Amino acid sequence: MDFEQCSRDGCEGRLERRDYVARRKVAGQRFEVPSEVLVCPECGREVISYEEAHRVDLAIAGELASHGPLTGAAFRYMRRSLALTGRQVADMLRVVPETISRWEHEQQAIPASAVLLLGTIVLESLVDEDGRSETLERATRLVA
Domain extent, residue 92, equals: 3-143
What pLDDT is attached to residue 1?
A: 45
- What's the structural domain count of the chain? 1
Tell me how far apart the alpha carbons of residues 57 and 104 are, in angstroms, rounded to a whole number: 17
The widest CA-to-CA distance across the chain, in whole angstroms, is 54
What is the value of pTM for the model shown? 0.83
pLDDT (average), residues 95-111: 97
pLDDT exceeds 60 at position 102: yes
Average pLDDT, the chain: 90
Tell me how far apart the alpha carbons of residues 72 and 78 are, in angstroms, rounded to a whole number: 10
β-pairing, 46-47 vs 3-5, is unpaired
Phi, psi (rounded to 5 degrees) for 6: -65, 140
Model pLDDT for residues 4-39, shown as the tens digit of each residue = 888 888 898 999 999 999 999 998 999 999 999 999
